[in-house]
Amino acid sequence: MRTTDGVDRRGLLRIAGGSVAALGLTATATACGGGSGSGDGKVTIRYAWWGSDDRAKRISESIKLFEKKYPKIKVKKDFQPYPDFWKKFNTQASGGNPPDVFQNAIGFLRKYDAKNVLLDLKDQVTAGNLSMDNFRAGLATFGEVDGKLLGVPVGSNSMALVIDKPVYTKAGVKPEQGWTWDDLDEALGKIRDKTDRAGDSGMYGIMYLYDIYLRQQGKAFFTEEGLGFTEADLTQWWTKADKSIKSGLVADTKKVVQAKPKSAVTAELAAGEFTWDNFTNRYTDEGKSEYGLAPIPTTDGKKTGQYLGSLMLSASRKTKHPKEVAQFIDFMVHDPEVGKIMEYDRGVHATTEQYEAYQPSDPVNQEIAAYEQSLVDAGVLEPITPHPEGADICESAFLRIAEELGLGTRSVDEAVKQFFTEAKTAFRH
């Protein structure tokens, strides 16, 4: 009995000691798990993006092709919905463990450049691992900041008015290129009176739309350092918003909020919404009606203030495999097969190789292509400068405060004041 007692205790201690050691080992193993590269010369790179399940399927298929062509490179996948993506990315990047290559957007270039997260891909272009040739409509320089190549565009998109076609037809509204904001209000009124919908989902918190509105007056939402408009400008825009909400031209914010993540258009609350043209695809999946594109209203009957935006692929400065990452980006933007697989999920293909490889056969994608071609042909496109650091927080605040206006918890003056206060804080930090 006594002997067993002793053995037991010692044995237990040994087990306890063993577990502690094992814990330590697991910790090390986990820490190494994120690493890449192994003895056989194979290299693993991690690719992170945001988007729908549909996008994930297309990307997985593209990656399979890539791994077949480059058997020495393995691509690890990591994707989230948009709002979660940046939280995770931010945490990983600050911890020194960002993905090697990731999807990026114009609002984040300067932000992460200032934090030394992004790799300047110019060296890889010089080394011949990445080609910046054959980009359409001046997109090749879209991801350049201060002479550094920080993002490679994958597909262009542009703001548009995405509409529920049958509802517009029923109301007898036919938008035409060059129509004005007053024409739009009149159209929204007709829709409200003749159908069971509001005319629009409530456009006044969409930063990219207000940007276009400002550009029509020779201004812009952002300059390189801060905001490109005054409190008086915003008061005018949100006073217009207040009127539209109260008169029912746009949908009840309360209902729009609850419909999320569904769009107000596919939730059949509104007949239209200002958003990116390639979202027509998403709406077609999500809703029951037939969706199409209408032109952006103008101030002077001519200038729309539009530009081509684009999702990009960026690389981390921390990556141990810049060459492989560059090869991957090159493949994703130039390979014709990838163009066929992705279709217009990321926008209209940025390179001529992919643009020519994929000829849309369905009406939705045909309309998107025609829409963007019409913008290029009309010569209305403007250049866009990458947003300043803090722009993403401004965009969020803009959306939230406009929503508060719509819900009636803030007056126009209070809302404008609050936005400028928050913007100031965002740019300072």
Partner 1 sequence: MGTTVTHAPAQDGAHAAAASPRHGPPVAPGHAAVKRRARRENLAGYLFLSPWIAGFLLLTAGPMIASLYFAFTDYNLFDAPRWVGLANFQEMFADPRWRKSVSVTLWYVVIGTPLKLALALGVALLLAQQRRGQAFYRAAFYAPSLIGASVSVAIVWKAIFSDDAVVDRAQSALGMDVGGWIGDPHWILYALVALTVWQFGAPMVIFLAGLKQVPRELYEAAEVDGAGPWRRFWNITLPMISPVLFFNVLLETIHSFQIFASAYIVGGGAGGNACGPADGSLVYTCYLYIQGFENSRMGLASAMAWMLLLAIGLVTAVLFWSQRRWVHYEEAAR
In whole angstroms, the minimum distance from the beta carbon of 95 to partner 1 comes to 8
CB 86 within 8 A of CB 392: yes
Of the two residues 70 and 276, which places its CB atom closer to partner 1 in the complex?
276
Among 101, 113, 32, smallest CA distance to 391 is for 113
In whole angstroms, the minimum distance from the beta carbon of 261 to partner 1 comes to 6
In whole angstroms, the minimum distance from the beta carbon of 403 to partner 1 comes to 6
In whole angstroms, the minimum distance from the beta carbon of 63 to partner 1 comes to 29
Of the two residues 136 and 410, which places its CB atom closer to partner 1 in the complex?
410
Of the two residues 112 and 168, which places its CB atom closer to partner 1 in the complex?
112
Task: List CB contacts of 99: < 8 A, sequence separation 6 or more.
Answer: 46, 47, 48, 78, 89, 92, 316
Whole-angstrom distance, CA of residue 319 vs CA of residue 150: 14
**Looking at the chain, how many residues does it have?**
429
DSSP state of 381: -
Would you call 10 helix, strand, or coil by DSSP?
A: helix
Of the two residues 13 and 127, which places its CB atom closer to partner 1 in the complex?
13
Only one residue has tokens 């009124």, namely: 189
DSSP conformation letters of 308-364: -EEEEEEEBTT-S-HHHHHHHHHHHHH-HHHHHHHTTTTSEESBHHHHHH----SHH
DSSP conformation letters of 228-265: SS-HHHHHHHHHHHHHHHHTTSB--HHHHHHHTTS-TT
In whole angstroms, the minimum distance from the beta carbon of 231 to partner 1 comes to 17
Residue 9's CB: how many other CB atoms inside 10 A? 10
In whole angstroms, the minimum distance from the beta carbon of 255 to partner 1 comes to 6
Of the two residues 27 and 370, which places its CB atom closer to partner 1 in the complex?
27
Distances (CA, A) of 358 to 215, 277, 329, 339: 32, 17, 19, 6
Give the interface with partner 1 as residue ranges (CB under 8 A): 2, 9, 13, 16-17, 19-20, 23, 86-87, 90-91, 93-94, 115-117, 205, 253-255, 257-258, 260-261, 393, 395-404, 407, 409-410, 418, 425-426, 429
Of the two residues 156 and 266, which places its CB atom closer to partner 1 in the complex?
266
Phi-psi region of 351 (alpha: psi -120 to 50; beta: other; left: phi over 0): beta
In whole angstroms, the minimum distance from the beta carbon of 302 to partner 1 comes to 32
Of the two residues 199 and 202, which places its CB atom closer to partner 1 in the complex?
202
CB 358 within 8 A of CB 339: yes
In whole angstroms, the minimum distance from the beta carbon of 252 to partner 1 comes to 8
Distances (CA, A) of 215 to 225, 342, 350: 17, 32, 24
Show the tokens assigned to 60: 């997985």
Of the two residues 129 and 316, which places its CB atom closer to partner 1 in the complex?
316
Of the two residues 116 and 374, which places its CB atom closer to partner 1 in the complex?
116
Number of Cα atoms under 13 Å in the Cβ half of residue 137: 27
In whole angstroms, the minimum distance from the beta carbon of 60 to partner 1 comes to 26
